[in-house]
Amino acid sequence: MNATENKPLALIKYGGNAMLNEGLKQAVVNNIKQLTERGVQTVLVHGGGPFIKRALDMAGIASEFIGGHRKTTPEALKYIEMALKGEVNSSLVNLLNASGLKAVGLSGKDGAMAIARKRYHLAQENGQDVKHDLGQVGDVESIDTTLPRTLLQHGFLPVITCIASDKKGNDYNINADMFAGALAGALAADDYLVLTDVDGLLRDLNDPASIIRELPLSELPSLMGTVIKGGMIPKLESCEAALRGGARRARIVNGTQPDTIAKAVLSSHSTGTEICL
Ligand SMILES: Nc1ncnc2c1ncn2[C@@H]1O[C@H](COP(=O)(O)OP(=O)(O)O)[C@@H](O)[C@H]1O
Ligand SMILES: CC(=O)N[C@@H](CCC(=O)OP(=O)(O)O)C(=O)O
């Protein structure tokens, strides 16, 4: 149980690819409603990759990913913030409110909830250590949970996107998985669910039956880069950050089958890949 309240707390990370289908989005919202009706305090953290891409394309700004993070110029950040807050966050809040919930749209900047620091991408190239400057890309340095806890205590549902500032007020674009993991840890979430478009972590991407049901953190390093690739890297790193930060349970589950969300939290139904300390 979460320390400050008697109610369990679930943090759900919802990515942009699973928002493109309106029916799916509504089903995710219905599951969140079920959770709150059954007394689970719920926090939704979201990204919005495809919406960011569309906004940058319209502005004529090219996107480049280095190590899974979008290189972000100060100009690009304006469009990224507009897409995440003005488009994605606002539409999720509308849908949640229309279902009878009281959603509050936020980013990490609100209430100084998340403090960011600049992130560099470190790589080995031709036997040399190389440090790539990603511009306004950040990591979460620290989290103050006062604002989300206050909202939860009063029956509001925080819907939080992955923009945060450093102590001087410079804004950063943070990978939404990494942002969610840090927050799940700081909130000591009873359940951290990372929604994605596959059933969980697969040993063989072409074989759904090769799903890894339980992964101890000690096995993570040996799978990184071999089994765990691309978009799965920040998801696993976020589960590690969540567990080490204080979350009780972390799972990667299939968000394209949204009915697993409520079931996973309410009945401890075994689904997806559970990462364990
Ligand atoms: N071992 C693995 N098991 C499952 N998926 C993997 C694995 N390695 C890489 N992936 C890729 O990670 C993708 C999920 O990451 P991403 O596309 O960033 O998801 P989302 O948009 O849901 O955040 C999967 O669709 C799959 O292509
Ligand atoms: C630094 C960085 O890469 N930030 C991400 C933030 C959005 C995100 O992570 O969205 P999904 O959850 O939909 O992938 C980006 O610009 O795409």
- pLDDT tens digits, residue range 170-214? 999 999 999 999 999 999 999 999 999 999 999 999 999 999 999
Surface-to-core class of residue 230, CB atoms within 10 Å of its CB (0-12 exposed, 13-18 middle, 19+ buried)? exposed
Residue having the nearest C-alpha atom to atom 7 of ligand 2: 47
The sign one gets for the Cα dihedral 136, 139, 145, 149 is positive
Question: What whole-number distance in Å separates Cα of residue 35 and Cα of residue 7?
Answer: 11
In a domain, 52, yes or no: yes
In a domain, 17, yes or no: yes
- CATH number of the domain within which 222 lies: 3.40.1160.10
Which pLDDT belongs to residue 188? 98
Q: Find the domain containing 111 and state its range.
A: 9-276
In a domain, 262, yes or no: yes
Q: Is 47 in the pocket of ligand 2 (CB under 6 A)?
A: yes
Average pLDDT over residues 42-48: 98
In a domain, 3, yes or no: no
Which pLDDT belongs to residue 179? 98
Ligand closest to the CA atom of residue 254: 1
- CA 231 – ligand 1 centroid, Å: 5
Q: Per-residue pLDDT for 1 more than 70?
A: no
Ligand 1 contacts (CB < 6 A) are: 15, 17-18, 196-198, 201-202, 205, 227-232
Pocket test for ligand 2, best of 21, 52, 136, 160 (most atoms within 8 A of CB): 52
Reported ipTM: 0.97
Query: How large is the C-alpha radius of gyration of the chain?
Result: 18
Map residue 271 onto helix, strand or coil.
Answer: coil
Q: Which residues contact 202 (CB under 8 A, 6 or more apart)?
A: 208, 210, 211, 212, 227
In a domain, 155, yes or no: yes
In a domain, 1, yes or no: no
Pocket test for ligand 1, best of 197, 237, 275 (most atoms within 8 A of CB): 197
The per-residue pLDDT of the chain, averaged, comes to 95
Question: What whole-number distance in Å separates Cα of residue 272 and Cα of residue 211?
Answer: 8
- CA 174 – ligand 2 centroid, Å: 7
How many C-beta atoms lie closer than 10 Å to residue 154's C-beta?
Answer: 9
Q: Which residues contact 2 (CB under 8 A, 6 or more apart)?
A: 8, 9, 41, 187, 188, 189, 190
In a domain, 2, yes or no: no
Label residue 3 by pLDDT band (50, 70, 90): very low
Location of structure tokens 């804004």: 171
Average pLDDT over residues 136-141: 98
Q: Which residues contact 175 (CB under 8 A, 6 or more apart)?
A: 47, 68, 69, 137, 162, 234
φ, ψ at 127 (rounded to 5°): 75, 5
- CA 147 – ligand 1 centroid, Å: 32
Residue having the nearest C-alpha atom to atom 20 of ligand 1: 196
Map residue 53 onto helix, strand or coil.
Answer: helix
Which pLDDT belongs to residue 6? 83
pLDDT digits (tens, 9 = 90+) for 144-163: 999 999 999 999 999 999 99
- CA 243 – ligand 2 centroid, Å: 21
Which pLDDT belongs to residue 5? 58
- CA 124 – ligand 2 centroid, Å: 24
Tell me the HSE value of 267 on the side-chain side, using a 13 A CA sphere. 9
Q: Per-residue pLDDT for 22 more than 50?
A: yes
Instruction: Say how many domains are in the chain.
Output: 1
pLDDT digits (tens, 9 = 90+) for 54-113: 999 999 999 999 988 999 999 999 999 999 999 999 999 999 999 999 999 999 999 999
The answer on whether 49 is annotated among ligand-binding residues is: yes
pLDDT digits (tens, 9 = 90+) for 220-256: 999 998 999 988 999 999 999 999 999 999 999 999 9
Ligand closest to the CA atom of residue 255: 1
In a domain, 102, yes or no: yes
